[in-house]
A and B are shown apart, each in its own frame.
Chain A
Amino acid sequence: MKPVKNFFDSIRPHFEKGGRFSRLYPFYEAIESIFYGPDHVTRQGPHVRDSLDVKRFMTIVILALIPHLIFGIYNTGYQAHLAAGLPLDFFPVFTLGLWVVMPMVLVTYAVGFFWESLFAVIRKHHISEGLFVTCMLFPLTLPPTTPLWQVAVGISFGVVIGKEIFGGTGRNFLNPALTGRAFIFFAYPAQMSGDKVWTATIYNNNAAVDAVSGATPLAIATLTEAPERIEQVLVDSGYSFSQMFWGLYPGSIGSTSAFLCLVGAFILIILGIASYRIILGGVLGVLMTGWLLNLLAGGSSLAWLTLNPFYHLVMGGLAFGLAYMATDPVSAPDMENAKWIYGFLIGVLTVLIRVFNPAFPEGIMLAILFMNLFAPFLDYFAVKTVCKKRIPNV
């Protein structure tokens, strides 16, 4: 490790105060701190500090997302091969997936890091590791057919408008990855919705996709009419509950597997990174709303109303959103009791959007963004009740 250390020791003076590139110090710090922790020492009490830093905090989230990335790569290749009628051997499938997904990930990181560095250098901030999580989340929420230029536009909007103009990480009230996702969802609907975008096509073989139908479970559910039951129609289309739970179906790159979301959420909760209140609140919100709708179903023609509430949890991106997006601590409320309400309402809204708004087959993105806006409001009342209990000391 000596050469690495020597390398940084030799170039550090150029980036420090008075050095030739001192303006680029945030950029330098971001790179160096990946290899070596800082040598800063405390100057006042407390003289010792916790070993946890933001870098580790965010790295853990990224590590939890890696299985999603790998599975997403496999699933993308798998669905493309399935649609094209090609054999489903692991290596060609995975290679194809890599070929489709990795450019999107790389473009996201390159563009995101560019904006973050630019703002950090101008503002003389450090580069916050939250960016790396944002850049990992963003491509995982996209359809595999998204053009790379749209990926770049989306992450730019997410990072700049969703975060930087409010002062950077820690001051953003919206989840930046979702902001970018929502932007391209509304700006380029042709590439973001419909049945054809969820399966990567290669070899210019569009016809094959039509033959298999690339419709996602959510799209199928929306088209189902009572008295047909969504569960049955899904099975007829080849989507059983267990298949949706494991995640091998067309959808956003990394968010199809409820199983991986469960594992990831479990890890993040155990390690104290994600709030179990938000996740449990969300699950409760989904199940209770789904169950209430079951009661209301009656003779309605809306097949959604009779859907077993547990199906909501495994279809589409709900599990992914609840586990990784809703739990973003910056855009969630600070107060513990507000987190319950926040999570719960995300669950409720997601189901309501899915059921009652045929224009948006997926509701989790809008539900989280909407509740992001309400997080300060929830906090306001939660803080007020806490302050009321305190015996004043002024």
Chain B
Amino acid sequence: MNLIRVRKGYNIKIGGQPSEELLSISRPGKVAVVPERIPFIKPRLKVKQGDAVQIGSLLFEDKRRPFLKFLSPGGGTVADIDIGHRRVIKKIVIRLDPDERAVDFGFLSESDLVAISRRDLVAKILEGGLWSLLRALPSRDIAPRDAEPPAIFVALDDLEPFQPDPSVYLQDQEPLFLFGLKVLRKLSSRVEVFARQATAGVLKKLNGHITGQVAGRYPADDPGVLLYAIRRSSTENQTWYIRGQDVLLLAHLLKHGNYPTRRTMVVGGNAAQKTGHVHARLGMPLAAFRPFAADGMNTRWISGGVFQGYPTGPDSYMGLYETAITLIPEGLHREFLSFVRPGFNKPSYSRTFLSWFNSSQLPYDSNFHGGLRACIACGHCAKVCPVDILPQLTFKAVLAEAVEEYLALGLMDCVECGLCSYVCPSKIELSSILTAARREYHQEQSQT
């Protein structure tokens, strides 16, 4: 087992780390899919309001790649299709029947799995609607159907605050996970499983299967960062990746022949009055997490982690890739003389606050803590960027549309971790600028 050390990155000292306690939550009356948060797809609806659906019924497909199917995470009736600005499908809500029925996709036994051809396996995953769990670097688009990747990376951990702990979501699920690994090995001759050192110590049953231990700060265990750290040639660039928990979904689909609905989620953040892991369903309404939010507080709801999550609210639903609800205080107040305070409590990457000496958890909120200014070349972004892309130069190249230059600087290696935006004293949205340019470049490439 090799140790991969990632030198750069940064951990914020935010409170509200979810406890390992596994909380139960009552069965929701509705579930939904949120197509707008699945990148690179243009949904074509296959249901209309009032249609009856089962768990695993087709809801929509991608217009450009119709073989990418997105299925219903619940059985019941299509209660609402929320179409927003410019006909973006925001969500498809399904009211659950008391006894849900599920579409049968046919299961694979261990021996079936050995015998099945790669082609048939791919077709089966596509049919079961879970191909979208496999993502391809460097664009992070859904993996192409026809290519065989140089490798598949399985990321068990996610250091982003906050994501589920593998020792919780893999509890009693190890056989299913190993089945999933076998599926992945069918798809690629090289499957690498990465876990943090601490995790690898806990997951004894998987010890033989974890191929790499990761040491470092956020986002050291991101598949893109790991690829950057270990790749030897450009042939590895198109490596696929899948999150540890998604391996369980994939394995469930093939082993049991029905569409999986179980998700282990975390609720955390410094505005959460109660934290922990939750056994939830795919497409869970976020209203179910209302009891976790502190009362009487203006709270920012984030679907996902603090860095990469989406702003949301209790009236929304969990997206396909999301496994966390993070609650932080909204920072709507104006702070008096904020820029000259000694700041024993003010979190900062820099050494300009006394909080440098404060190792305890610090109050974080959604305030920008400063006005938008021009880049002053302080270089903080380059110091935290885990893949060394010099964000302060790359974002200028992006804004100047100097394509050759930003590609040479490594735009496509960007892992969209958001650290550059976090540390920027000029409050420039570096990460969003880079991410938008990456997506645009990828879309142009895939259309030709």
Contact of B372 among A126, A271, A332, A336 (CB under 8 A): A126
Taking a contact as CB atoms under 8 Å apart, the answer to whether B348 and A38 are in contact is no
Chain A 43-58, CB-CB to B under 8 Å as 1, else 0, gives 1111111111111110
Taking a contact as CB atoms under 8 Å apart, the answer to whether B311 and A272 are in contact is no
| B interface list, Cβ under 8 A from A | 12, 14, 138, 231-234, 237, 300, 302, 304-311, 326, 328, 330-340, 343, 346-353, 355, 364-379, 382, 388, 390, 392-393, 407-410, 412-413, 418-419, 421-427, 429, 431-432
* Cα separation A15 to B135 with both chains bound (whole Å): 48
Taking a contact as CB atoms under 8 Å apart, the answer to whether A392 and B234 are in contact is yes
Known: A50-B422, A383-B409. 11 other contacts (CB 8 A): A56-B370, A57-B378, A126-B371, A128-B373, A170-B373, A170-B375, A271-B351, A329-B378, A334-B379, A334-B393, A390-B388
What's the minimum C-beta distance from B116 to chain A, rounded to whole angstroms? Answer: 33
Nearest A residue to B302 by beta-carbon distance?
A: A47
Q: Across the A-B interface, give the 8 residue pairs with the lowest CB-CB distance, nearest first.
A: A53-B370, A170-B374, A37-B338, A46-B418, A51-B346, A36-B334, A55-B339, A56-B339
Nearest B residue to A58 by beta-carbon distance?
A: B376
Contact of B374 among A44, A51, A168 (CB under 8 A): A168
Taking a contact as CB atoms under 8 Å apart, the answer to whether A45 and B375 are in contact is no
Per the 8 Å Cβ criterion, residues 331-350 of A in contact with B are 332, 334-336
Nearest B residue to A30 by beta-carbon distance?
A: B371
Q: How many pairs of residues, A versus B, come closer than 8 Å at their CB atoms?
A: 224
Q: Which B residues lie within 8 Å of A20 (CB)?
A: none
Taking a contact as CB atoms under 8 Å apart, the answer to whether A57 and B352 are in contact is yes
Contact of A39 among B231, B300, B332, B377 (CB under 8 A): B332
What's the minimum C-beta distance from A37 to chain B, rounded to whole angstroms? Answer: 3
Nearest B residue to A169 by beta-carbon distance?
A: B374
Residue A60 CB within 8 A of the other chain = yes
Taking a contact as CB atoms under 8 Å apart, the answer to whether A54 and B422 are in contact is no
Taking a contact as CB atoms under 8 Å apart, the answer to whether A37 and B370 are in contact is yes
* Cα separation A270 to B356 with both chains bound (whole Å): 11
Q: Which A residues lie within 8 Å of B372 (CB)?
A: 126
User: With contacts A36-B336, A39-B334, A59-B340 known, is A48 near B350, CB below 8 A?
Assistant: no
Per the 8 Å Cβ criterion, residues 95-153 of A in contact with B are 125-126, 128-130
Taking a contact as CB atoms under 8 Å apart, the answer to whether B347 and A50 are in contact is yes
Taking a contact as CB atoms under 8 Å apart, the answer to whether A393 and B410 are in contact is yes
* Cα separation A46 to B338 with both chains bound (whole Å): 21
Q: Which B residues lie within 8 Å of A126 (CB)?
A: 371-373
Residue A353 CB within 8 A of the other chain = no
Chain A 184-200, CB-CB to B under 8 Å as 1, else 0, gives 00000000000000000
Taking a contact as CB atoms under 8 Å apart, the answer to whether A391 and B14 are in contact is no
Q: Which A residues lie within 8 Å of B424 (CB)?
A: 49-50
User: With contacts A46-B306, A46-B422 known, is A273 near B379, CB below 8 A?
Assistant: no
What's the minimum C-beta distance from A268 to chain B, rounded to whole angstroms? Answer: 10
Residue A394 CB within 8 A of the other chain = yes
User: With contacts A329-B376, A334-B392 known, is A50 near B332, CB below 8 A?
Assistant: no
* Cα separation A169 to B332 with both chains bound (whole Å): 28
Taking a contact as CB atoms under 8 Å apart, the answer to whether B234 and A391 are in contact is yes
Taking a contact as CB atoms under 8 Å apart, the answer to whether A386 and B390 are in contact is yes
Residue A330 CB within 8 A of the other chain = yes
What's the minimum C-beta distance from A304 to chain B, rounded to whole angstroms? Answer: 35
